């Protein structure tokens, strides 16, 4: 059921009282610092090459493209295997990549193509990590602390953004890029050690893992038929694409427009990070005072101002001050969207849904970085930043068309297995399919129109939880009968509908429709004839 959340804000620091979350958060902070150090090191290796604008922007593209390509398969993996073991294996792979970067840089065998290839490999590890880690967080903290945990995640990333580039800038100026890559390897060893030490109190049980392709389709189907998830993804995209210009081109701003070295670039990133940390700390209080869409508009306006200042001002202190609200706006939008995704997604599809969010986030950044790099190459940095500001203005105005759901509303997404147990003459093979489910309703003619409206919500529930096709028909021979028909890929998929994919929201949708019917709906399940005799089940409810 949907209820208003308590007005008293939960402290941003509340999740850190849980020892397991605190230890992993601190270790992840070290890994985030290492990641930002590596990004700065990779970009600085390319800054003096020909076509530097495109090459520097491609570092971000190479980092984020694997998320775009692999996040959804990684989400399937995280929903079907032990997430702790998966995380440990992936972190060891990332350590190996960081060691390879270090050794090749020390031996001066790092051409741009190889650097971008290893950056892509590191991105592959990050793509496998993100859905598993995001899905673990609701298992570490109680539901009322999820928004705070999301804010802490943003604080971790942005503290790293403040510390990592500054530390990398100092190291690069004094010792070169190789030590930066070496410290990144050590940082991921720390995170690996924390994961090895973590012993989940209640290990998540995967009853019967779904087949990979079926699970991939199920995750995509859920997102496609969930208006709330689609709305959240759109809001993330219309912010991230123009905002990515600031991150992608900042090394060139530091070098060409402000005349700063690697240390100055680190200082600019540190200003963004400090603003983001401040935004994360204030978010718990601000959320209780401002509607979600007002927050979006304010964040968009702040980012537009920052883009314009960076494009037109050559005074370093003023640019640093302008970057602070950009960091605040960044964390305000993305922490809100990320927390809402974690709260809204049911547990059975959480990693896959979060993976789709990460695809949109990373894809928006990767595409944006490439686009703004090409624009800067052809038209210059100033016009690239002003064009990004104009696009951000358009995106901000779309909050009137695609508003976020009220962030102060809590939704119960716990499984609601309310369909009765099946009574069949013969149990089909789990992988037989497709399965056709037919539900016959008796509805008085005067209630036909309200029934049709109610069944539209039922359609959404069927499609989110497994139906490939859905239809509602009326027999021509009667005036009071309706037949709902939906096609499920396999018998296993239909059993999962019975066993926990449905939520309380789906139950309410079915209840509203059935209140308008007479008698008890009659349900039949039809499986392919080649699998055996046609199966029939006249039990009273699905």
Q: Give 3-state DSSP helix, strand, coil % of the chain, rounded to 5.
A: 70, 5, 20
Q: What is the pLDDT of residue 500?
A: 77
Q: Is residue 10 within 8 Å of residue 145, measured between CB atoms?
A: yes
What radius of gyration do the chain's Cα atoms show? 26
The two three-digit tokens of residue 439, written as one number = 């539900």
SS3 442: strand
- Alpha-carbon distance 442 to 510, whole Å? 14
- Alpha-carbon distance 496 to 431, whole Å? 12
User: Helix axis angle, 262-286 relative to 316-344, nearest 10°?
Assistant: 50
Tell how far CA 291 is from the center of its chain: 22
If you ran DSSP here, which 8-state letter would residue 488 be given? E
Question: Tokens 């692999």 belong to which residue?
Answer: 70
- Alpha-carbon distance 229 to 249, whole Å? 31
Q: CB under 8 Å to 106, separation ≥6 — which residues?
A: 178
Question: Which pLDDT tens digits describe the chain residue by residue (542 residues)?
Answer: 444 444 456 677 888 888 888 999 999 999 999 998 888 888 888 877 777 767 877 887 788 778 778 888 888 888 778 888 999 999 999 999 999 999 998 888 888 889 899 999 998 998 899 888 888 887 788 877 777 787 788 778 777 766 787 788 888 888 888 899 999 999 999 999 999 988 876 555 555 677 888 888 888 899 999 988 898 898 889 999 999 999 888 888 888 888 886 667 778 877 887 888 788 777 767 776 777 778 888 889 999 999 999 999 988 899 999 999 998 888 888 877 887 887 788 878 888 888 888 888 877 887 888 889 899 988 889 999 999 999 999 988 888 777 776 644 556 667 777 787 787 878 888 888 799 999 999 999 999 999 999 999 999 999 998 899 999 999 988 888 999 999 999 998 888 888 778 888 888 889 999 999 998 888 999 988 864 444 444 444 44
- DSSP-derived pairing of the beta strands 469-473 and 2-4: unpaired
The two three-digit tokens of residue 122, written as one number = 């590191």
- Alpha-carbon distance 392 to 365, whole Å? 14
Neighbours of 456 (CB within 10 A): 11
Q: What is the pLDDT of residue 412?
A: 64
Q: What is the pLDDT of residue 27?
A: 92
231-240 core/surface letters (b: 16 or more CB in 10 A; e: else): bbbbbbbbbb
Length of the chain: 542
526: β partners? 436
This prediction has a pTM of 0.76
Give Cα separations from 32 to 160, 316, 367 (angstroms): 5, 26, 22
């Amino acid at each position: 059921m949907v209820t208003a959340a308590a007005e008293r804000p939960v402290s941003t620091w509340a999740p850190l009282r849980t020892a397991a979350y605190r230890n992993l958060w601190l270790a992840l902070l070290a890994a985030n610092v290492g990641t930002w150090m590596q990004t700065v090191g990779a970009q600085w290796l390319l800054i003096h090459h020909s076509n530097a604008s495109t090459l520097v922007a491609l570092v971000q593209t190479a980092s984020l493209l694997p998320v775009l390509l692999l996040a959804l398969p990684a989400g399937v993996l995280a929903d079907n295997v032990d997430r702790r073991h998966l995380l440990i294996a992936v972190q060891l792979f990332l350590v190996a990549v960081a060691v390879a970067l270090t050794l090749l840089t020390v031996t001066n065998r790092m051409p741009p193509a190889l650097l971008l290839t290893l950056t892509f490999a590191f991105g592959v590890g990050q793509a496998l990590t993100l859905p598993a880690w995001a899905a673990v967080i609701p298992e570490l903290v109680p539901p009322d602390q999820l928004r705070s945990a999301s804010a802490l995640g943003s604080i971790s990333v942005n503290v790293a953004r403040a510390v990592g580039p500054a530390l990398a800038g100092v190291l690069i100026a004094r010792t070169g890029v190789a030590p930066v890559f070496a410290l990144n390897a050590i940082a991921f060893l720390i995170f690996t050690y924390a994961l090895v030490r973590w012993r989940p109190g209640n290990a998540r049980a995967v009853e019967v893992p779904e087949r990979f392709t079926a699970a991939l389709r199920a995750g995509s189907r859920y997102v496609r038929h969930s208006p709330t998830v689609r709305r959240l993804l759109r809001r993330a995209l219309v912010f991230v694409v123009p905002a990515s210009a600031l991150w992608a081109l900042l090394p060139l701003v530091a070098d060409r427009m402000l005349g700063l070295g690697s240390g100055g670039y680190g200082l600019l990133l540190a200003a963004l990070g400090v603003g983001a940390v401040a935004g994360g700390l204030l978010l718990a209080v601000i959320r209780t005072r401002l509607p979600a869409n007002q927050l979006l508009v304010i964040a968009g306006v702040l980012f537009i101002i920052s883009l314009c200042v960076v494009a037109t001002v050559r005074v370093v202190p003023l640019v640093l001050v302008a970057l602070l609200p950009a960091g605040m706006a960044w964390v305000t939008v993305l922490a809100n969207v990320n927390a809402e995704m974690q709260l809204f997604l049911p547990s059975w599809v959480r990693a896959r849904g979060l993976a789709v969010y990460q695809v949109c986030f990373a894809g928006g950044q990767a595409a944006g970085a490439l686009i703004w790099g090409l624009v800067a190459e052809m038209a210059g940095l100033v016009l690239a930043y002003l064009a990004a500001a104009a696009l951000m203005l358009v995106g901000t105005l779309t909050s009137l068309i695609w508003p976020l759901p009220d962030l102060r509303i809590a939704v119960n997404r716990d499984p609601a297995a309310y369909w009765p147990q099946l009574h069949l003459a013969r149990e089909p093979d789990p992988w037989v399919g497709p399965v056709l489910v037919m539900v016959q309703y008796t509805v008085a003619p005067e209630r036909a129109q309200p029934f049709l409206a109610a069944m539209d919500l039922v359609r959404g529930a069927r499609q989110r939880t497994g139906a490939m096709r859905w239809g509602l028909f009326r027999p021509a021979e009667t005036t009071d009968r309706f037949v709902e028909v939906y096609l499920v890929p396999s018998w296993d998929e239909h059993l999962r509908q019975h066993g926990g994919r449905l939520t309380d929201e789906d139950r309410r949708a079915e209840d509203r429709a059935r209140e308008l019917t007479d008698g008890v709906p009659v349900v039949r399940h039809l499986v392919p004839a080649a699998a055996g005799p046609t199966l029939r089940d006249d039990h009273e409810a699905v």
